Structure 1
Amino acid sequence: MGNEEGWTKDAGGSLPVENVQALASKKLKDIPHRNIRPDLEFDRVSMDESLQIPVIDMSKLVRNQSGHGDELGELHRACENWGFFQLINHGVPAEVIENMKMEIKEFFKLPLEEKMSCAQLPNDIQGYGQAFVVSEEQKLDWGDMLFLLSKPASIRNMRFWPTTPTSFRATFDKYSSEVQRIAVCLLRLMGRNLGIDPEKLRSIFEDGTQAIRMNYHPPCVEANKVMGLNTHSDSTGLTLLIQANEVQGLQIKKNGKWVPITPIPGAFIVNIGDIIEIMSNGKYKSIEHRAAVNPENERLSIAAFHGPNLKSIIAPLEDLVKEETPNYKSLTHEEFVKLVVSSKLDGKSLVGRMKLLH
């Protein structure tokens, strides 16, 4: 794998914890204390069903390559005001998406010992398990994941890629390429909206990193005491998420309230990550979000994280700080990755550590 193996090697890993899917199958009367969270703010969940993230039509964006038109303005406002949007008519074949959903459903149905053939290793975030567990006292998410590095091919470690279902690898590879294509196209248009050469962001991300996290959150009878995925912002550039079944759970923070997101069938839920917040010098901000647990049904989702190329510097783009002060520190890609994987999911603490005090 060459020098690019350093993208995760010895950057830090996650401490081993009990498998949540197996734990839930025991139908315990009492939830383990490390899974119980006292600070879930369920009283701050918005009941306003009309409050939803913007919807962006990719076909309208692509149709207007000159960079003018209402949809490009809608994209800018979605990034600036929400940091989240749903993307429809994106051009990824429905068959590619449905096949990926089926593969991950089948993987999580496998016996635990089969899934454990893909288990995480010390000092590596890849594989089957949980991420961002950095202490024995830390509260734990109610969920398991399969986390794979997908692009560039040189950072893949096939030891973590399932061989069952037998079609998993080919399906995953196809899905990975299709989603990255959409992400790079969006980033190019975001660059135009930020007033910089749109090819700048495209060139940074086109041969960039991609990691895909497949989440499984089993039901919990005391769902009001646990969280599928703790409050966090994504430490990447751009995330494209698809639900693998019909069970909702994603909530985003807006004006101090938690807003439940109702996914549009076939749409990607797209969100700004910490890296784009830093590169845009805060013009586009990453948004805190979390995954709630359902008391009766399992929830599955697939999140594709898109980062810059391995040689990039994580810092405000030069074109945006010629006439203003940089608001964030500058780190090499390797330094940023080490910071990410050695930190627990905790709101926007990562961005906070990157901010410069003026």
Structure 2
Amino acid sequence: MDLKVENGCIQEDNGLGWGKSLPVKSVLEIVRNDSQSVPERYIQEHKDRPLVSETLPASPEIPIIDFSLLAKGDGDERRKLDLASKEWGFFQITNDGVVDEVLHKMKSAVAAFFALPLEEKKKYAMAENDLHGYGQAYVVSEQQKLDWCDIMALMTLPPESRNFKFWPHTFTRFQVGGAVEVYSTQVQKVAEEINANLSLLMGMDRDGLKRLHGKLKQLLRMNYYPPCSRPDLVLGISPHSDGGSLTLLLQDDEIIGLQIRHKEEWIPVKPIPNSLVMNIGNAVEILINGMYRSIEHRAITNEKKERISVTAFAFVDDELEIGPLDSMVDDLHRPRMYQKI
């Protein structure tokens, strides 16, 4: 993929861009037209359907990390981060330094966008060879099962990577200095502090991962899950792991939707109001030679209520070659698990 930066926006040369995704109907519009039916393309195979018991809060619960202690250099909290990354690959962050008002404004911006008329949202629709904008990502065939979710994806950092043709310019909350940019900047600071602590745990100085990553990029994916009359038949997002470095998720405070695979079971992640969920991505798992885990996860739907979430993906420079660090490899006790990619 060849990219050029012109006028502060990414311009793509001929090619597939960020990946092919075929256009599909808006799930919200499907529900508005017929709230009781579920089209066949959204009905999962029996083995992939969520069980009713999986939609309820259950123990064990994922670890909780106090970000304020990490930022102060607390050794005990850093050891908790190490254990959470090894055993779970997921953890909730409290006292993350992001002002509650920023979180609420971000959620309001997302809700307001998806409440727009369909024709207005289609102005920002994904191109067939891109994954930015409004639509549903990773649709590669007419036969594949679809997720019960509409999304809006924007490249947010660094600023010169933004493609403003996908930004709803009539919304002040999506303009420069608005809710989206403020939220994007603040969660990136959280990611940087977590990376600094992971660097120390990996035997480097605080800037170790930062140097290895090159110029970190951030993509915001805003997810809208309409209510579904048969939540036992569909998935909001199909099982996957994240290819980047770290992922930060702003959940709905009231509705459980995220599930992670832990010890061969799907564990619901009960939201903690005004907090973030973070998980290890594939890039960090490779660098640390599998000591930390990039865990498979998915989202389920709710029969009565809509659900909104915002995912911030931090990922490494596209042109970098990465592989296990030499300090993480021991031919006798921990052989190299990954090739360089």
* Selected match of 2:25 from 18, 31, 35: 18
Q: List structure 1 segments (4+ residues) > 4 angstroms apart after TM superposition.
A: 3-9
* Selected match of 1:56 from 65, 74, 90: 65
Counterpart CA distance in 2 for 1:248 and 1:146 is: 21
* Selected match of 1:225 from 227, 230, 233: 233
Please say if 1:286 is aligned against 2:294. Answer: yes
Structure 2 residue aligned with 1:356: none
Compare the two structures and name the one with the higher helix fraction.
Answer: 1
Please say if 1:146 is aligned against 2:156. Answer: no
Paired residues of 1:184 and 1:205 also in contact (CA < 8 A)? no
1:193-225 residue CA offsets vs partner (Å, 9 max, x unmatched): 122333210234473110010000000111110
**Aligned runs of 1:182-331 on 2, under 5 Å?**
182-205=190-213, 207-244=215-252, 246-321=254-329, 325-331=335-341
- CA drift at 1:93: 1.4
Question: What's the RMSD between the two structures over aligned residues?
Answer: 2.2
Distance change (3 Å), C-alpha of 1:234 and 1:281: same
Aligned-pair identity in percent equals 40
1:60-95 residue CA offsets vs partner (Å, 9 max, x unmatched): 11112xxx6211110100000010100011111122
Counterpart CA distance in 2 for 1:109 and 1:48 is: 29
Distance change (3 Å), C-alpha of 1:121 and 1:6: closer
SS of alignment partner, residue 303 of structure 2 = coil
Counterpart CA distance in 1 for 2:142 and 2:266 is: 28
How many residues are paired up? 328
Unaligned 5+ segments in structure 1 are 332-358
Structure 2 residue aligned with 1:35: 42
1:19-63 residue CA offsets vs partner (Å, 9 max, x unmatched): 111001112543111100022251773867331100000111111
Paired residues of 1:105 and 1:244 also in contact (CA < 8 A)? no
1:144-184 residue CA offsets vs partner (Å, 9 max, x unmatched): 00001111222211000112422322221111111111101
Counterpart CA distance in 2 for 1:234 and 1:100 is: 22
Paired residues of 2:255 and 2:271 also in contact (CA < 8 A)? no
Paired residues of 1:208 and 1:310 also in contact (CA < 8 A)? no
Distance change (3 Å), C-alpha of 1:5 and 1:281: farther
Counterpart CA distance in 2 for 1:46 and 1:173 is: 33
- CA drift at 1:11: 3.8
Structure 1 residue aligned with 2:133: 127
Structure 2 residue aligned with 1:137: 143
Give the TM-score taking structure 1 as reference length.
0.86
Give the TM-score taking structure 2 as reference length.
0.90
Structure 2 residue aligned with 1:84: 90
Distance change (3 Å), C-alpha of 1:69 and 1:267: same
Distance change (3 Å), C-alpha of 1:111 and 1:43: closer
Paired residues of 1:127 and 1:147 also in contact (CA < 8 A)? yes
Q: Which moved more, 1:102-111 or 1:6-15?
A: 6-15
